[in-house]
Structure 1
Amino acid sequence: MSDADSRKPGPSEKRRPVLFSHGDTGYLRLRKLTHGPGEQKRFLCLPRTGDKEGAPKDGPLVEVAMVGASAHWTSHARLEDAAELALLLSHPAIPRTHGLFQHRGGRYLVTEYVSGISLNMAGHYGSVRGRQLSEAFTLYVASVVADVLSYVHTLTDAAGRPLGIIHRAVDPYNVILKHDGTVMLAHFMSACSLLPGRAPVVPFIVQGEIDFAAPERLGPMPEGGVDSRSDLFSVGMVMLEMITGLQLYGSDEVEKAAEKLPPGHPGYDGEVPWVSEVSSWTTVEEMARRAAAFRPEHIDHLMRRVSEPVRLIIHKLLRRRPEERYATAAALKGDLDACLGVLDAPYGAREAIEELLKARSDALAVKGPIELIPSDEAERRAGELYLLTNH
């Protein structure tokens, strides 16, 4: 990694500010995206490089995670950790990482921009039209995610030592269907690993998402630590929401059960409350109470219209004790593929995108496009619209 040279934008770049430059490439800022973990900011950018004649050439759209010059050193260290890990990942369903660059004291991690529709939006379409996407859709998507996690969880270094990677942010926002129906698992910014020299863990802060987090991640580190099975719990949470349109921790039944727990149940370590580095609809303490309160009957109530084979898979994923869940992502994928294999007709990328676009069309018929599109779809479409209107 080297310090980037600054350069002046050419005449054609003045319409868009340059977020940063590296060599003779400027990264034009198209849109600010949702915040990353901690002090990290994210932007959708268009790389632009001048050729020998001085005419600009546009590269593919990218996402840039930025930590400014004034950020705490731990934020810079975490972005360096994320870059080191990302550069080791090579899977068709993981966005490619282009590199980590420095410019005027800031650090910029450049990754592939994934154009498509998030699972969050897919669930939104189902809620608006009054019918969730099919079980087959969820099984197909979950199978790809399980394949990615199997690859990630079993990755080793050059000496064959396990890297112990945990994604920690498996949620509907980070699972994206491209326009050809292929599935991507994005945003490894909150991932942890056993790579040497990692930034120190900050006490009392839960890194990664908490809305879909396993119970063992919502407070003090359990004896034996947290392992890859916490990601599998998150897969179960995503599957449950996609099939039912309901969120386990947000259900009325679990909320009432959590109210019956004694005061000061999980979420505290001594007198210091745990907090989430990623915004959520409630506190870590409240989420931990709900994670400690849910019971199998609560899951059954939410899945009363789900087929028996799929219900059994989700139940096994959502066991509170990690040792009772699937041991590996590969074992999970085996059961998901078995369910897909007994369907009346094959279901894959083409069927998934056709079903998703039909759900979007149905939702648009209920609500106009302005009401229908929340921020994450606007983010995904921002780059596409820019390219359509400028090229």
Structure 2
Amino acid sequence: MDLRGGRYEILHLIASGGMATVYLGRARGMGGFERLVAVKTMHAHLADEPEFVAMFLDEARLAAQIRHPNVVGTIDVQQDERGVFIVMEYIEGASLQQLLRSLHKQGNTLPLEIALRVFLDMLAGLHAAHDLTDAQGKPLHLVHRDVSPQNVLIGVDGVARITDFGVARAEARISTTHGSQLKGKIGYMSPEQAGRLPVDRRTDVYAAAVLLWELMALQRLIRGDSEAEMLAKVVASETPSPRSVNPDVPEALDAVCMRALEKNPDDRYSTAADFAEALDEAARSMGMKIATPRAVASFVRAHGVHTPLVDLRAKSNAEGQAAQVPTRIENPVSGRASAASFPDRMSSPDRKSSESASAVIVPPDETRGKHMRTAPLVMASVAAVALAAGAFWMLRAPRTNEGAPVVLSQPVPSVDPPTITPTPSMVLAPAPPPSASAAPTPPAMESARAAPSASNTGKATATTKRDPNAPPTATARPSSGGPMYRPSEL
């Protein structure tokens, strides 16, 4: 179990960006309390960069002060031995970018009434961030600076929310970014932002208008083969109207969008709220009905653009169980194998030296399953060889000083093997040394099974069933050369 900050359990990867990775997590508390959260962790290669760490913390500090249903809420910010992480509200759903890409692959488009509902929700959250004040009521002049489809989340509840204030700028922020650095996505930058001029909330109004243009025109507004070419288009080129690209765009909505896309900030809507109000009036003037949150929820669910929470839970549970499967550690030098739970066993101080630096981790996979399926066959073959060898050795009587007859512990089959009259050479000749290839002949294996028995005096004796008409059996020669007796059946 991967636990962060002592109470946030990491369950599953949700998304990864240029600065951080977001995981589905679970907050634990007293009395079995649980709550699903989104845990945003900074990439390891950025953890040692003071500027990125400061920006990361600024996002948490600023976003935590915004309380609005159209803004993804920030719950907590923590730091442990692995670095800083932010705990946010978990939104079950998909980003606007994911929805648009899914529809494009299906050959569909986002209905205008659905697009307007999502867009108006985003403007409401953006206006709440712009109006943010400190504890004394002084405006913080927060600017998101990265309004784009990736940062608009559409929940299965039909509510759209703005998120990711990682490049937001506020005059009263704890740390400041270098003015020469260009941050944000070029395709959604305002001319003043692309030109590294002072920005305010009207910069976000412009970026939002670019997003609306693309939702109505059904294509990207700023495109180019290089960043320099895209920047030039943002600053100098004339912006075509969405209606000129897509004739189905209503004139009233086209006019509202084009005003928000003015190059001069003074000619745009001064606030996101004014922009939203103009869209509402345009829709009413042409009798257009904007979709309700219920309609948006049904649309998102119907197109399956997100992973349902129940599936995420099931996958997280499966991954958790897989993590408990022992990992086989093989030593390529000695060939030894052992079961260990990686990495605990690898880091254990009491590991044997033969399984240290030369150990190779072999994770459980389908190949292991094939080996495990063939294991019974191998074991059966080994058992058969062992039984054959055991039968041979059981038929060879142990050394004894007494001429005790050898009797089999099990009755022989109904067909007795032919008897052989012993000769002196048979009695005195030593038995050949055992070898790996030595094995009793099939008749002997099928007709006899032997088992040693120990007497009270420690002398081993054995009995065998003989034909009453057969001559007396030979006795073992007492010598130090090992057992010399060979049963008459052989």
- Scaled to the shorter chain, the TM-score interval is 0.7 to 0.9
DSSP 3-state at the match of 2:149 = coil
Taking the aligned partners of 2:231 and 2:97, their CA distance within structure 1 comes to: 23
1:35 counterpart (17, 28, 37)? 17
Taking the aligned partners of 1:346 and 1:211, their CA distance within structure 2 comes to: 27
* Off by >6 Å, runs of 4+ in structure 1: none
Tell me: CA distance 1:383–1:75, structure 2 relative to 1, closer, same or farther (3 Å). Answer: farther
Q: What is the aligned partner in structure 2 of residue 5 from structure 1?
A: none
Tell me: CA distance 1:122–1:244, structure 2 relative to 1, closer, same or farther (3 Å). Answer: farther
Which amino acid in structure 1 is aligned with residue 5 of structure 2? Answer: H
The percent identity for this pair of structures is 22
What is the TM-score of this pair, normalised by structure 2? 0.59
DSSP 3-state at the match of 1:233 = helix
Taking the aligned partners of 1:129 and 1:21, their CA distance within structure 2 comes to: 39
Query: Does the Cα contact within 8 Å between 1:139 and 1:340 map onto a contact in 2?
Result: no
Output one character per residue of 1:74-112: Cα deviation in whole Å (capped at 9) or x when no partner: 122112211211121100111121111111161111111
Tell me: CA distance 1:244–1:346, structure 2 relative to 1, closer, same or farther (3 Å). Answer: closer
1:164-175 matches, within 5 Å, as 164-175=141-152
Query: Does the Cα contact within 8 Å between 1:101 and 1:109 map onto a contact in 2?
Result: yes
Query: Does the Cα contact within 8 Å between 1:140 and 1:340 map onto a contact in 2?
Result: no
Deviation at 1:348, TM superposition (A): 1.2
Tell me: CA distance 1:384–1:64, structure 2 relative to 1, closer, same or farther (3 Å). Answer: farther
Q: What is the aligned partner in structure 2 of residue 44 from structure 1?
A: 23
Q: What is the aligned partner in structure 1 of residue 292 from structure 2?
A: 348
1:318-337 matches, within 5 Å, as 318-337=261-280
Tell me: CA distance 1:292–1:72, structure 2 relative to 1, closer, same or farther (3 Å). Answer: same
Correspondence 1:71 to 2:48: yes
Q: What is the aligned partner in structure 2 of residue 186 from structure 1?
A: 163
1:313 counterpart (228, 239, 256)? 256
Deviation at 1:326, TM superposition (A): 0.8
Q: What is the aligned partner in structure 2 of residue 292 from structure 1?
A: 235
Q: What is the aligned partner in structure 2 of residue 80 from structure 1?
A: 57
1:243 counterpart (183, 196, 216)? 216
Tell me: CA distance 1:210–1:162, structure 2 relative to 1, closer, same or farther (3 Å). Answer: same
Kindly tell me the number of residue pairs found equivalent between the two proteins: 315
Taking the aligned partners of 1:156 and 1:61, their CA distance within structure 2 comes to: 26
Taking the aligned partners of 1:227 and 1:127, their CA distance within structure 2 comes to: 34
Taking the aligned partners of 1:140 and 1:128, their CA distance within structure 2 comes to: 22
DSSP 3-state at the match of 2:40 = strand
1:387 counterpart (313, 327, 335)? 313
DSSP 3-state at the match of 1:206 = coil
Bigger RCO (CA 8 Å, 6+ sep) = 1
DSSP 3-state at the match of 1:62 = strand
Q: Give the greater-gyration-radius structure (CA).
A: 2
Which amino acid in structure 1 is aligned with residue 128 of structure 2? Answer: Y
What is the TM-score of this pair, normalised by structure 1? 0.72
DSSP 3-state at the match of 1:108 = strand
Query: Does the Cα contact within 8 Å between 2:112 and 2:216 map onto a contact in 1?
Result: yes
DSSP 3-state at the match of 1:205 = coil
Which amino acid in structure 2 is aligned with residue 234 of structure 1? Answer: A
Output one character per residue of 1:58-85: Cα deviation in whole Å (capped at 9) or x when no partner: 4313132325485211122112211211
Query: Does the Cα contact within 8 Å between 1:41 and 1:65 map onto a contact in 2?
Result: yes
Tell me: CA distance 1:44–1:285, structure 2 relative to 1, closer, same or farther (3 Å). Answer: same
Q: RMSD value over aligned CA atoms?
A: 2.7
Taking the aligned partners of 2:242 and 2:159, their CA distance within structure 1 comes to: 29
Tell me: CA distance 1:203–1:82, structure 2 relative to 1, closer, same or farther (3 Å). Answer: same
DSSP 3-state at the match of 2:36 = coil
Taking the aligned partners of 2:157 and 2:51, their CA distance within structure 1 comes to: 39
Tell me: CA distance 1:351–1:33, structure 2 relative to 1, closer, same or farther (3 Å). Answer: closer
Q: Which runs of 5+ in 2 are unaligned?
A: 319-490
DSSP 3-state at the match of 1:44 = strand
Q: What is the aligned partner in structure 2 of residue 21 from structure 1?
A: 4
Query: Does the Cα contact within 8 Å between 1:31 and 1:382 map onto a contact in 2?
Result: no
Output one character per residue of 1:276-318: Cα deviation in whole Å (capped at 9) or x when no partner: xxxxxx6542221121343144655324331101101111111
DSSP 3-state at the match of 2:143 = coil
Taking the aligned partners of 1:330 and 1:48, their CA distance within structure 2 comes to: 35
Taking the aligned partners of 2:82 and 2:300, their CA distance within structure 1 comes to: 43
Correspondence 1:207 to 2:151: no
Deviation at 1:160, TM superposition (A): 2.4
Tell me: CA distance 1:136–1:70, structure 2 relative to 1, closer, same or farther (3 Å). Answer: closer
Taking the aligned partners of 2:138 and 2:37, their CA distance within structure 1 comes to: 35
DSSP 3-state at the match of 2:186 = coil
Output one character per residue of 1:236-262: Cα deviation in whole Å (capped at 9) or x when no partner: 111121222201102xxxx5xxxxxxx
Taking the aligned partners of 2:271 and 2:107, their CA distance within structure 1 comes to: 34
Q: Which runs of 5+ in 1 are unaligned?
A: 1-12, 256-281, 362-376
Query: Does the Cα contact within 8 Å between 1:191 and 1:208 map onto a contact in 2?
Result: no
Which amino acid in structure 2 is aligned with residue 349 of structure 1? Answer: P
Q: What is the aligned partner in structure 2 of residue 276 from structure 1?
A: none
Tell me: CA distance 1:104–1:230, structure 2 relative to 1, closer, same or farther (3 Å). Answer: same
Tell me: CA distance 1:41–1:345, structure 2 relative to 1, closer, same or farther (3 Å). Answer: closer
Deviation at 1:232, TM superposition (A): 0.9
DSSP 3-state at the match of 1:60 = strand
Correspondence 1:197 to 2:141: no
Tell me: CA distance 1:152–1:99, structure 2 relative to 1, closer, same or farther (3 Å). Answer: same
Query: Does the Cα contact within 8 Å between 1:42 and 1:65 map onto a contact in 2?
Result: yes
